[in-house]
Structure 1
Protein backbone atom coordinates (compact mmCIF):
# COMPACT_ATOMS: atom_id res chain seq x y z
CA UNK A 1 0.00 0.00 0.00
CA UNK A 2 1.12 3.53 -0.67
CA UNK A 3 2.57 5.58 2.19
CA UNK A 4 1.33 9.14 2.23
CA UNK A 5 3.14 11.88 4.08
CA UNK A 6 1.34 14.30 6.33
CA UNK A 7 2.07 17.51 4.50
CA UNK A 8 -0.93 19.66 5.27
CA UNK A 9 0.15 20.87 8.68
CA UNK A 10 3.04 22.47 10.47
CA UNK A 11 2.38 20.50 13.61
CA UNK A 12 4.45 18.90 16.36
CA UNK A 13 2.87 15.96 18.14
CA UNK A 14 2.28 16.20 21.87
CA UNK A 15 3.62 13.42 24.13
CA UNK A 16 0.19 11.81 24.63
CA UNK A 17 -0.37 11.90 20.86
CA UNK A 18 2.85 9.92 20.32
CA UNK A 19 1.47 7.29 22.68
CA UNK A 20 -1.85 7.21 20.80
CA UNK A 21 -0.02 6.72 17.49
CA UNK A 22 1.99 3.88 19.07
CA UNK A 23 -1.31 2.31 20.13
CA UNK A 24 -2.60 2.73 16.56
CA UNK A 25 0.46 0.92 15.21
CA UNK A 26 -0.12 -1.81 17.77
CA UNK A 27 -3.74 -2.12 16.61
CA UNK A 28 -2.60 -2.70 13.03
CA UNK A 29 -0.22 -5.47 14.07
CA UNK A 30 -2.86 -7.47 15.96
CA UNK A 31 -4.50 -10.43 14.23
CA UNK A 32 -7.33 -9.14 12.06
CA UNK A 33 -10.84 -10.40 11.60
CA UNK A 34 -14.09 -8.99 10.27
CA UNK A 35 -14.29 -6.57 13.22
CA UNK A 36 -11.00 -4.80 12.43
CA UNK A 37 -12.59 -1.92 10.48
CA UNK A 38 -15.02 -1.30 13.33
CA UNK A 39 -12.20 -1.33 15.90
CA UNK A 40 -10.14 1.04 13.75
CA UNK A 41 -13.10 3.41 13.30
CA UNK A 42 -13.83 3.45 17.04
CA UNK A 43 -10.15 4.08 17.77
CA UNK A 44 -10.15 7.04 15.38
CA UNK A 45 -13.44 8.41 16.71
CA UNK A 46 -12.19 8.26 20.29
CA UNK A 47 -8.73 9.72 19.76
CA UNK A 48 -9.59 12.26 17.06
CA UNK A 49 -12.63 13.28 19.11
CA UNK A 50 -15.02 13.27 16.18
CA UNK A 51 -18.74 12.64 16.14
CA UNK A 52 -18.93 10.56 12.93
CA UNK A 53 -16.51 8.12 11.30
CA UNK A 54 -17.37 6.46 8.03
CA UNK A 55 -15.22 3.85 6.29
CA UNK A 56 -16.55 2.82 2.92
CA UNK A 57 -15.69 1.01 -0.27
CA UNK A 58 -16.42 2.23 -3.77
CA UNK A 59 -19.18 0.62 -5.79
CA UNK A 60 -18.21 -1.24 -8.96
CA UNK A 61 -18.98 1.82 -11.11
CA UNK A 62 -17.14 4.15 -8.71
CA UNK A 63 -20.16 6.44 -8.33
CA UNK A 64 -21.23 5.40 -4.84
CA UNK A 65 -19.74 4.60 -1.47
CA UNK A 66 -20.95 1.54 0.42
CA UNK A 67 -20.16 1.91 4.10
CA UNK A 68 -18.38 -0.92 5.88
CA UNK A 69 -18.48 0.99 9.16
CA UNK A 70 -20.55 4.03 10.07
CA UNK A 71 -20.25 5.38 13.61
CA UNK A 72 -21.98 8.17 15.46
CA UNK A 73 -20.52 9.03 18.87
CA UNK A 74 -18.78 5.64 18.91
CA UNK A 75 -21.99 3.69 18.27
CA UNK A 76 -22.38 1.60 15.13
CA UNK A 77 -25.07 2.80 12.73
CA UNK A 78 -26.58 0.67 9.94
CA UNK A 79 -24.45 0.61 6.80
CA UNK A 80 -25.64 2.73 3.90
CA UNK A 81 -24.72 3.48 0.32
CA UNK A 82 -24.73 7.00 -1.06
CA UNK A 83 -23.87 8.86 -4.23
CA UNK A 84 -20.51 10.59 -4.45
CA UNK A 85 -21.93 13.28 -6.72
CA UNK A 86 -22.04 16.70 -5.05
CA UNK A 87 -20.47 15.40 -1.83
CA UNK A 88 -17.14 16.11 -0.13
CA UNK A 89 -16.33 12.42 -0.57
CA UNK A 90 -16.18 13.02 -4.33
CA UNK A 91 -13.46 15.61 -3.66
CA UNK A 92 -11.57 13.01 -1.61
CA UNK A 93 -11.36 10.75 -4.66
CA UNK A 94 -9.92 13.47 -6.87
CA UNK A 95 -7.67 15.16 -4.31
CA UNK A 96 -6.79 12.10 -2.13
CA UNK A 97 -7.31 14.23 0.98
CA UNK A 98 -9.95 16.81 1.76
CA UNK A 99 -10.49 19.04 4.79
CA UNK A 100 -13.24 21.55 5.42
CA UNK A 101 -12.68 23.14 8.85
CA UNK A 102 -16.15 24.68 8.98
CA UNK A 103 -19.29 25.40 7.00
CA UNK A 104 -18.89 22.31 4.80
CA UNK A 105 -22.61 22.35 3.96
CA UNK A 106 -22.22 25.62 2.05
CA UNK A 107 -19.59 23.99 -0.21
CA UNK A 108 -21.91 21.05 -0.98
CA UNK A 109 -25.47 22.41 -0.86
CA UNK A 110 -26.88 19.39 -2.75
CA UNK A 111 -25.56 16.92 -0.16
CA UNK A 112 -28.72 16.37 1.88
CA UNK A 113 -26.98 13.96 4.28
CA UNK A 114 -24.63 16.73 5.46
CA UNK A 115 -27.68 18.81 6.31
CA UNK A 116 -29.56 15.94 7.95
CA UNK A 117 -26.56 15.06 10.12
CA UNK A 118 -25.88 18.77 10.81
CA UNK A 119 -22.24 18.41 9.69
CA UNK A 120 -20.07 21.50 10.16
CA UNK A 121 -16.55 20.12 9.55
CA UNK A 122 -15.22 17.29 7.38
CA UNK A 123 -11.90 15.48 6.91
CA UNK A 124 -11.57 12.70 4.36
CA UNK A 125 -8.84 10.53 2.91
CA UNK A 126 -8.71 7.98 0.11
CA UNK A 127 -7.77 4.31 0.36
CA UNK A 128 -5.88 2.77 -2.56
CA UNK A 129 -5.21 -0.71 -3.90
CA UNK A 130 -1.62 -1.70 -4.64
CA UNK A 131 -2.04 -0.59 -8.25
CA UNK A 132 -2.91 2.92 -7.05
CA UNK A 133 -6.61 2.65 -7.89
CA UNK A 134 -9.11 3.83 -5.27
CA UNK A 135 -10.79 1.12 -3.21
CA UNK A 136 -12.56 3.31 -0.65
CA UNK A 137 -12.36 6.24 1.70
CA UNK A 138 -12.69 7.44 5.25
CA UNK A 139 -14.65 10.47 6.36
CA UNK A 140 -14.48 12.10 9.79
CA UNK A 141 -17.29 14.55 10.45
CA UNK A 142 -18.39 16.81 13.28
CA UNK A 143 -21.25 19.15 14.03
CA UNK A 144 -18.59 21.63 15.17
CA UNK A 145 -14.99 22.37 14.09
CA UNK A 146 -12.41 19.67 14.82
CA UNK A 147 -10.47 20.01 18.04
CA UNK A 148 -7.24 18.94 16.32
CA UNK A 149 -7.53 18.18 12.59
CA UNK A 150 -3.76 17.79 12.20
CA UNK A 151 -3.67 14.95 14.71
CA UNK A 152 -6.80 13.41 13.18
CA UNK A 153 -5.00 13.27 9.83
CA UNK A 154 -1.91 11.74 11.44
CA UNK A 155 -4.07 9.07 13.02
CA UNK A 156 -5.88 8.26 9.76
CA UNK A 157 -2.61 8.02 7.84
CA UNK A 158 -1.04 5.69 10.40
CA UNK A 159 -4.03 3.35 10.17
CA UNK A 160 -4.55 3.72 6.39
CA UNK A 161 -2.34 0.84 5.17
CA UNK A 162 -4.10 -1.68 7.43
CA UNK A 163 -7.56 -0.33 6.57
CA UNK A 164 -6.68 -0.44 2.85
CA UNK A 165 -5.58 -4.07 3.15
CA UNK A 166 -8.79 -4.97 4.93
CA UNK A 167 -10.98 -3.18 2.37
CA UNK A 168 -9.19 -4.95 -0.47
CA UNK A 169 -9.70 -8.32 1.25
CA UNK A 170 -13.38 -7.64 1.91
CA UNK A 171 -14.20 -6.07 -1.45
CA UNK A 172 -11.79 -7.86 -3.78
CA UNK A 173 -10.83 -11.14 -2.11
CA UNK A 174 -9.07 -12.43 -5.24
CA UNK A 175 -6.52 -9.57 -5.31
Structure 2
Protein backbone atom coordinates (compact mmCIF):
# COMPACT_ATOMS: atom_id res chain seq x y z
CA UNK A 1 0.00 0.00 0.00
CA UNK A 2 1.15 3.49 -0.82
CA UNK A 3 1.48 6.10 1.93
CA UNK A 4 0.97 9.67 0.78
CA UNK A 5 2.57 12.62 2.50
CA UNK A 6 0.52 15.49 3.86
CA UNK A 7 1.09 18.54 1.71
CA UNK A 8 -1.32 21.09 3.10
CA UNK A 9 -0.15 21.84 6.64
CA UNK A 10 3.09 21.82 8.55
CA UNK A 11 1.86 19.13 10.89
CA UNK A 12 3.48 16.94 13.49
CA UNK A 13 1.14 14.47 15.23
CA UNK A 14 1.21 14.32 19.02
CA UNK A 15 1.57 11.14 21.06
CA UNK A 16 -2.18 10.44 21.20
CA UNK A 17 -2.53 11.10 17.46
CA UNK A 18 0.40 8.78 16.73
CA UNK A 19 -1.44 5.97 18.55
CA UNK A 20 -4.57 6.65 16.45
CA UNK A 21 -2.51 6.63 13.25
CA UNK A 22 -0.92 3.32 14.27
CA UNK A 23 -4.41 1.90 14.88
CA UNK A 24 -5.43 3.21 11.45
CA UNK A 25 -2.50 1.40 9.84
CA UNK A 26 -3.48 -1.77 11.69
CA UNK A 27 -7.03 -1.34 10.37
CA UNK A 28 -5.71 -1.18 6.80
CA UNK A 29 -3.90 -4.49 7.29
CA UNK A 30 -6.78 -6.50 8.72
CA UNK A 31 -8.87 -8.90 6.70
CA UNK A 32 -11.50 -7.41 4.45
CA UNK A 33 -15.21 -8.02 4.98
CA UNK A 34 -18.55 -6.66 3.74
CA UNK A 35 -18.69 -3.85 6.30
CA UNK A 36 -15.04 -2.81 5.90
CA UNK A 37 -15.76 0.66 4.47
CA UNK A 38 -18.32 1.26 7.22
CA UNK A 39 -15.73 0.25 9.79
CA UNK A 40 -13.25 2.72 8.31
CA UNK A 41 -15.88 5.49 8.28
CA UNK A 42 -16.76 4.76 11.90
CA UNK A 43 -13.06 4.88 12.81
CA UNK A 44 -12.72 8.27 11.11
CA UNK A 45 -15.83 9.56 12.87
CA UNK A 46 -14.64 8.34 16.26
CA UNK A 47 -11.20 9.91 15.96
CA UNK A 48 -12.11 13.20 14.27
CA UNK A 49 -15.46 13.89 15.90
CA UNK A 50 -16.95 14.83 12.52
CA UNK A 51 -20.75 14.52 12.44
CA UNK A 52 -20.91 13.22 8.85
CA UNK A 53 -18.54 10.87 7.04
CA UNK A 54 -18.91 10.14 3.34
CA UNK A 55 -17.02 7.63 1.23
CA UNK A 56 -18.09 7.85 -2.38
CA UNK A 57 -17.33 6.35 -5.75
CA UNK A 58 -17.03 8.51 -8.86
CA UNK A 59 -19.50 7.59 -11.59
CA UNK A 60 -18.38 6.45 -15.03
CA UNK A 61 -19.42 9.84 -16.48
CA UNK A 62 -17.38 11.57 -13.71
CA UNK A 63 -20.32 13.86 -13.00
CA UNK A 64 -21.80 12.09 -9.96
CA UNK A 65 -20.77 10.49 -6.70
CA UNK A 66 -22.46 7.35 -5.44
CA UNK A 67 -22.05 7.04 -1.68
CA UNK A 68 -20.72 3.69 -0.55
CA UNK A 69 -20.91 4.84 3.06
CA UNK A 70 -22.77 7.84 4.40
CA UNK A 71 -22.70 8.11 8.16
CA UNK A 72 -24.15 10.54 10.70
CA UNK A 73 -22.84 10.29 14.25
CA UNK A 74 -21.52 6.76 13.50
CA UNK A 75 -24.94 5.61 12.23
CA UNK A 76 -25.21 4.42 8.65
CA UNK A 77 -27.61 6.35 6.45
CA UNK A 78 -29.01 5.27 3.10
CA UNK A 79 -26.62 5.51 0.17
CA UNK A 80 -27.53 7.78 -2.70
CA UNK A 81 -26.12 9.36 -5.85
CA UNK A 82 -25.66 13.10 -6.21
CA UNK A 83 -24.31 15.42 -8.92
CA UNK A 84 -20.85 16.90 -8.36
CA UNK A 85 -21.55 20.25 -10.00
CA UNK A 86 -21.54 23.08 -7.49
CA UNK A 87 -20.36 20.99 -4.53
CA UNK A 88 -17.18 21.04 -2.43
CA UNK A 89 -16.72 17.43 -3.58
CA UNK A 90 -16.25 18.76 -7.12
CA UNK A 91 -13.46 20.99 -5.79
CA UNK A 92 -11.88 18.08 -3.88
CA UNK A 93 -11.81 15.98 -7.04
CA UNK A 94 -10.39 18.82 -9.14
CA UNK A 95 -7.72 19.87 -6.64
CA UNK A 96 -7.16 16.56 -4.81
CA UNK A 97 -8.19 18.17 -1.52
CA UNK A 98 -10.73 20.70 -0.28
CA UNK A 99 -11.06 22.22 3.17
CA UNK A 100 -13.61 24.82 4.17
CA UNK A 101 -13.27 25.52 7.91
CA UNK A 102 -16.52 27.53 8.05
CA UNK A 103 -19.39 28.90 5.92
CA UNK A 104 -19.22 26.00 3.47
CA UNK A 105 -22.99 25.95 2.82
CA UNK A 106 -23.14 29.63 1.73
CA UNK A 107 -20.02 29.07 -0.40
CA UNK A 108 -21.85 26.36 -2.39
CA UNK A 109 -25.43 27.63 -2.77
CA UNK A 110 -26.25 24.99 -5.44
CA UNK A 111 -25.58 22.18 -2.96
CA UNK A 112 -28.98 21.77 -1.33
CA UNK A 113 -27.78 18.97 0.94
CA UNK A 114 -25.24 21.27 2.60
CA UNK A 115 -28.07 23.70 3.29
CA UNK A 116 -30.46 21.00 4.57
CA UNK A 117 -27.87 19.49 6.90
CA UNK A 118 -26.66 22.95 8.00
CA UNK A 119 -23.06 22.04 7.22
CA UNK A 120 -20.56 24.57 8.53
CA UNK A 121 -17.26 22.87 7.60
CA UNK A 122 -16.06 20.37 5.00
CA UNK A 123 -12.85 18.43 4.47
CA UNK A 124 -12.59 16.17 1.43
CA UNK A 125 -9.80 14.21 -0.21
CA UNK A 126 -9.61 12.47 -3.57
CA UNK A 127 -9.26 8.70 -3.87
CA UNK A 128 -7.15 7.40 -6.75
CA UNK A 129 -6.68 4.26 -8.82
CA UNK A 130 -3.27 2.65 -9.26
CA UNK A 131 -2.98 4.77 -12.42
CA UNK A 132 -3.59 7.93 -10.35
CA UNK A 133 -7.03 8.43 -11.88
CA UNK A 134 -9.81 9.71 -9.60
CA UNK A 135 -12.17 6.96 -8.44
CA UNK A 136 -13.91 8.64 -5.53
CA UNK A 137 -13.52 10.68 -2.41
CA UNK A 138 -13.64 10.62 1.35
CA UNK A 139 -15.21 13.61 3.10
CA UNK A 140 -15.92 14.85 6.59
CA UNK A 141 -18.67 17.39 7.23
CA UNK A 142 -19.82 19.02 10.41
CA UNK A 143 -22.30 21.58 11.71
CA UNK A 144 -19.37 23.23 13.51
CA UNK A 145 -15.75 23.72 12.54
CA UNK A 146 -13.90 20.41 12.11
CA UNK A 147 -11.49 20.08 14.99
CA UNK A 148 -7.84 19.50 14.15
CA UNK A 149 -8.30 19.44 10.39
CA UNK A 150 -4.61 18.67 9.83
CA UNK A 151 -4.94 15.47 11.83
CA UNK A 152 -8.21 14.60 10.02
CA UNK A 153 -6.48 14.96 6.67
CA UNK A 154 -3.55 12.89 7.89
CA UNK A 155 -5.91 10.15 9.07
CA UNK A 156 -7.74 10.06 5.73
CA UNK A 157 -4.40 9.94 3.94
CA UNK A 158 -3.30 6.92 5.98
CA UNK A 159 -6.62 5.13 5.32
CA UNK A 160 -6.93 6.11 1.63
CA UNK A 161 -5.01 3.18 0.12
CA UNK A 162 -7.30 0.66 1.85
CA UNK A 163 -10.41 2.62 0.83
CA UNK A 164 -9.16 2.82 -2.74
CA UNK A 165 -8.55 -0.95 -2.84
CA UNK A 166 -12.12 -1.56 -1.68
CA UNK A 167 -13.57 0.77 -4.30
CA UNK A 168 -11.54 -0.91 -7.02
CA UNK A 169 -12.88 -4.31 -5.90
CA UNK A 170 -16.43 -2.98 -6.33
CA UNK A 171 -15.89 -1.94 -9.95
SS at match of 1:7: coil
TM norm structure 1: 0.95
Unaligned runs of 5+ residues in structure 1 are: none
Unmatched tracts of structure 2, length 5 or more = none
**Is the partner of 2:53 in helix, strand or coil?**
strand
| CA deviation vs aligned residue, 1:76-115 (integer Å, no higher than 9, x gap) | 0000110000000000111001100000112111110000
Structure 1 residue 30: Cα displacement = 0.4
Q: Could you list the runs of 4 or more consecutive aligned residues of structure 1 that deviate by over 2 angstroms after TM superposition?
A: 1-4
Shift of 1:60: 1.3
* 2:103 alignment counterpart: 103
Structure 1 CA distance for aligned equivalents of residues 133 and 2 of structure 2: 11
Deviation at 1:2, TM superposition (A): 5.4
**1:46 is matched with which residue?**
46
Q: Write the distance in 2 (CA, Å) between the matches of 1:15 and 1:3.
A: 20
The yes-or-no answer on 1:79 pairing with 2:100 is no
TM-score, normalisation: structure 2? 0.97
1:14 Cα deviation (Å)? Answer: 1.2
Distance of 2:22 and 2:2 partners within structure 1: 20
2:20 alignment partner in structure 1: 20
**Secondary structure, counterpart of 1:135 in structure 2:** strand
What whole-Å deviation, never above 9, does each CA across 1:137-164 have from its counterpart, x for those lacking one?
A: 0110000001110110010000000000
> Is the 8 Å Cα contact of residues 2 and 132 (structure 1) preserved in structure 2?
no
Aligned to 2:131: 131
The equivalent residue for 1:163 is: 163
